[in-house]
Amino acid sequence: AKPIVALKLLAKEEGQRIMTTSSDTNQTDEQPNQLGPEYVLTKILTPSSKFAFARSMIASKAYEAWTNLLITTKALPKPPSFTLAALDPTPTDATTRALELAQQLVPPSVVNHMIRTYYFGMAIAAWKGKIAVSTNSEEDEAKEEHASVNYPNFDREAFWTACVLHDIGVSPELSPPADSNTGSDKQDETITALTNFEVRGGTRAHSFVTQELEPPFNTKRAWLVHEAIALHTSKARHGEPDATEGMCWAEMLFDGAATDLTAMSLSKLCPETIVAVLREHPKLDVHKVFPQMLRKECGERPCCLIAQSGEMGL
C-alpha cells in the first residue's frame, strides 16, 4: 500500500500543475494584460550538460524498471484497459482543424505517430493518477485506490492539439533556409535558421490556436500548447520541483511520444489499449521516414536536443 500512497501523493503534486483551473475551456481572458511572466513562450532551448542529460535518462530507466517490478508483484495496479472513446477529446473545430494542419505539413506516418502520442500519453497519465479517465470495466480495489486522484478539468482539447502538432516543426515548410537569420512568412521574427524544430512547431501551433480558430484559445491554453510542444524533448528538465504547468504538459506528451517510438513506458499501457490504438492509427513507415527527418534536423542544427541524444548513442 505504501508505494501506492507515495505515487498518489506525487501524482497529486504533479497533477495540480498540469490541470487547467477553469471548467470552461473555451472562455477568453477577461484581463489579458494582468497575466504574469509564467505565460512567456519559450523561444530558445539550451541543451543541458551531458551529465544532466545522462542522469535524467538513467533516472528514467530506473523508474521504469522499479515500477515494472511493483506492477509485476502487484504492489502497483496493472494499467487499466481504455477504449479509444474513453480517451478521445470532445470533437471540436479545434481538434478537427489541428489534425488537418498536421496532415498538410508532415507525412501520414508522422501524423499517426502524433495521434498515438495523444492516446498513449493520456493512458499513461491516467495510470500515474495525473488525470481521470473512466473505464467501462469493473475496477479491483487496488485500481480504484490508485485512480482516486481525480482532476475533472483536464483540457483534452488543448492536449490533443499539442500532441497532433508536436512534430510539425520538422516540416520543410517550417524550416528556414540554413543560411537564413530571419524568420519566414509562416513564422514570426523569432524563428531563425538555428531555431529548434520543437520551438518552430510550438510557434506554428500557437499561431494556429490564437489566430486561426474562432473562438481562439485564451492566453493560458495557447501557452500550454506551445510549451508542451517546445519543451517535449527537454528530458533533463522534466520532473523538476519547480516545473511550470507547461513543462508538466511537455512531460506527459514526451511519455506518449517516447513510448510510441522506443517503447519507453509500454508496461504502463494495457495490451488491449495498445492494440486498439495501433489498429486505428498504424505505424506505417514511421521508423523509416521520421529518423530521416530528424537526421536532417540534426545535420542542419547541431545544437538541437535530438542531436545531443545521438551524440550519446541514444
The answer to whether residue 26 is domain-embedded is no
Instruction: Name the residue with higher pLDDT: 138 or 116.
Output: 116
The answer to whether residue 31 is domain-embedded is no
Mean pLDDT for the chain?
80
Model-level pTM?
Answer: 0.83
The answer to whether residue 299 is domain-embedded is yes
Based on the structure, what is the number of domains in the chain?
1
E-strand spans in 10-118?
A: none
Answer whether residue 31 shows pLDDT above 50. no
Cα gap 41→51, rounded to integer Å: 27
Please state, as a whole number, how many other Cβ atoms lie within 10 Å of the Cβ of residue 161: 32
Cα gap 229→249, rounded to integer Å: 9
pLDDT tier for residue 29 given thresholds of 50, 70 and 90: very low
Cα gap 133→147, rounded to integer Å: 9
The answer to whether residue 141 is domain-embedded is yes
The answer to whether residue 29 is domain-embedded is no
The answer to whether residue 24 is domain-embedded is no
Q: Which domain holds residue 149?
A: 2-19+48-311
Instruction: Name the residue with higher pLDDT: 241 or 234.
Output: 234
The answer to whether residue 27 is domain-embedded is no
Q: How many Cα atoms within 13 Å fall on the side-chain side of residue 259?
A: 27
Instruction: Name the residue with higher pLDDT: 98 or 52.
Output: 98
Instruction: Name the residue with higher pLDDT: 313 or 112.
Output: 112
The answer to whether residue 278 is domain-embedded is yes
Residues 155-191 have pLDDT tens digits of 999 999 999 999 999 999 998 765 555 444 444 567 7
Q: Max CA-CA distance within the chain?
A: 60
Q: Is the dihedral of CA 112, 159, 80, 265 positive or negative?
A: positive
Cα gap 77→267, rounded to integer Å: 11
Instruction: Name the residue with higher pLDDT: 259 or 306.
Output: 259
Please state, as a whole number, how many other Cβ atoms lie within 10 Å of the Cβ of residue 258: 20
- The residue-averaged pLDDT of 249-260 equals 95
Residues 296/310, Cβ–Cβ less than 8 Å: no
Answer whether residue 150 shows pLDDT above 70. no
Cα gap 304→29, rounded to integer Å: 34
E-strand spans in 86-144?
A: none
